[in-house]
Amino acid sequence: MSDTTPANDRPASDAITPSAPQPAVSLETAAELSSDMASQIEAAMKDLDAAPAEPRKGIRGPRVVHGGREHRKGKVISVGPTDVFIEFGPREIGVVTRQGWADEELPAVGDELEVVVERFDQKESVLICVRPGAVQKADWELLQEGQVVEAPVVAVVKGGIELEISGHRAFMPASQVSFERIENFEPLVGQKLTCQVQRIDRRGRGNIVLSRKPILAKEREEKADKLRESLHEGQEIEGTVRKIMPFGAFVDLGGVDGLIHISDLSHDRIGFGEKAVQKIVKEGQTVRVQVLKVDWDEKRIALGMKQLADDPFSTAVKDVNEGDEVTGKVKSIVDFGCFVEISPGLEGLVHISEIAHRRVHNAADVVKPDEVVRCKVLKIDPQTRRMSLSIKALQEAPKSNRKGKEDSGPSREEILKETPALRRMREKAKSDPKSKKDKGKGGLEIIGGGLGLGDLKLPG
């Protein structure tokens, strides 16, 4: 429940004093003031005394309490090298560390600033404050759901990790540690994680459930908003390989993911599948990519790596011409032939019909991987980055086993030529009564004495 009663309408006893109860929320980094803070506070107080008199309105803005933490708004009166000083009311000063502000985001003197009161420093008579949303270590009694805390990892347990918060053990499920799958949580032991309280049960020994995902999601959203303004096609940017897939690799650009398709990883032929992708990149590796396409509506960003590297094919092919004899190593064997590497980055295809003069059904029967072969360059196509090679073109063709014309037997014309012997055979067949009608076993009837196929008729 929030308390929004203006402080200047409250009794004086309600003001924060050294003896007044303070929120039991404290930053470890704010345990002690810096050595030179006293002089900075004194200078800030002198500036206030020297400022023109103006009507005092008490504490600026309402005092609002959320989760046991008091939120206040005040006016920036001084920006030191390490701290920012805020005036809440007459001679009521707060101090907040500059850490967490970028130089360009640092508040200026006169700006209104909202902070969270952590405690009152009795020695210097100032309120120690932090920025809203800053990580804190809260007491058990004031711990609430939704609160952002920092807790050390103390052990790895079944289903997640165990942390310590407010003197109690807390549990974080494995699915809430990160958006990516983590195989081994042991390296996290001893580290402090910024997380959010998801559930708290104070019955018995207490039960606290934490999650990092809301924190990580917020960070990604902030980074994504900045990228939407700056990311454009053709831009070169660095990212971290987040996940390997059979079709490529997802790269975290700092808030949003982009995909490097497997065809845009390398100019070399690497195949397909996770193992092929891992030949080029590894998870966690920092890579430099070029933005090929940006579609914020579909939340798709296409990236490329080979676009930033010289094409070895275009470079190497300048020294090779069609008709040249080259030597290369068999890189891979496929159903339709084999690929031969002529030089690094320059490969050509020997079609299965160009491997040998005889018919080849399987290229592996003739050539083996890593075998050195001599080839003839048949064709080069720089547009498609393809080169056709031939092995058989450099081999002597075997002699034909077919007989010459003089040994090939009688020609068709000689067979059909009318001869006296053929006429005598026809006359004899016509005069033989058995040959006038002879039915064979196959059901064919031979009518007349002709021996040609034209005289054969099927039975009716």
Ranking 52-61, 323-332, 335-344, 381-390 by mean pLDDT, the lowest is 52-61
The pLDDT value recorded for residue 338 is 93
Residue that the structure tokens 């000689």 belong to: 414
Lowest mean pLDDT among 47-51, 123-127, 233-237, 240-244: 47-51
Does the pLDDT at position 395 exceed 50? yes
**285 pLDDT higher than 60:** yes
* pLDDT surpasses 80 at 370: yes
**Strands 92-97 vs 126-130: parallel, antiparallel or unpaired:** parallel
pLDDT of 59 strictly over 70: no
The pLDDT of residue 125 is above 60 = yes
pLDDT given at position 31? 36
**95-109 pLDDT tens trace:** 988 876 777 788 888
Is pLDDT above 60 for 409? Answer: no
Q: What is the pLDDT of residue 417?
A: 66
Among 49, 52, 74, smallest CA distance to 63 is for: 74
Check residue 231 and give its pLDDT: 86
Q: Counting beta carbons within 10 angstroms of the beta carbon of residue 47, is it exposed (0 to 12), middle (13 to 18) or buried (19 or more)?
A: middle
Mean predicted lDDT score pLDDT of the chain: 76
Classify 167 as helix, strand or coil.
coil
pLDDT band at 10 (very low <50, low <70, confident <90, very high): very low
Q: Which of 128-137, 326-335, 357-366 has the lowest mean pLDDT?
A: 128-137
Would you say 60 and 88 are in contact if contact means Cβ atoms under 8 Å apart? yes
113 and 130 Cβ atoms separated by less than 8 Å: no
Structural tokens at position 43: 């200078």
Q: What token pair was written down for 41?
A: 């506070």
In the predicted model, is pLDDT for residue 48 greater than 90?
no
pLDDT at 418: 65
pLDDT score of 196 more than 60? yes
Q: Supply the pLDDT for residue 21.
A: 34
176 pLDDT above the threshold of 80: yes
Which is higher by pLDDT, 364 or 118? 364
- Strands 337-343 and 346-351: what pairing? antiparallel
315 vs 409, more confident? 315
Q: Give the pLDDT confidence score for residue 24 in this predicted structure.
A: 34
Neighbours of 57 (CB within 10 A): 11
Query: What percent of the chain stands above pLDDT 90?
Result: 18
- Joined together, the tokens standing for residue 173 give 């499920």
Quickly state the pLDDT bin for 53 (edges 50, 70, 90): very low
**What is the number of other CB atoms lying within 10 angstroms of the CB of residue 269?**
13
For residue range 14-37, what is the model confidence (pLDDT) as tens digits? 333 333 333 333 333 333 444 455
Look at 212-226, 324-338, 359-373 and tell me which has the smallest mean pLDDT.
Answer: 212-226
Q: What is the pLDDT of residues 375-393, one digit of tens each?
A: 999 998 877 778 899 999 9
> Which pLDDT value is given to residue 36?
54
| pLDDT of 12 strictly over 50 | no
Label residue 422 by pLDDT band (50, 70, 90). confident
The predicted structure's pLDDT at residue 375: 93
The alpha carbon dihedral of 370, 374, 378, 383 has a sign of positive
Q: Is the pTM of this model over 0.75?
A: no
- pLDDT tens track for 243-269: 899 999 999 887 788 999 998 888 777
Please give the DSSP secondary-structure letter assigned to residue 283: T
**Predicted pLDDT of residue 353:** 92
For residue 229, the model assigns a pLDDT of 81
> Is pLDDT above 70 for 133?
no
Residue with tokens 């708290």: 200
pLDDT band at 416 (very low <50, low <70, confident <90, very high): low
Residue 58, classified by CB atoms within 10 Å of its CB into exposed (0-12), middle (13-18) or buried (19+), is middle
Of 345 and 406, the structure prediction assigns the larger pLDDT to 345
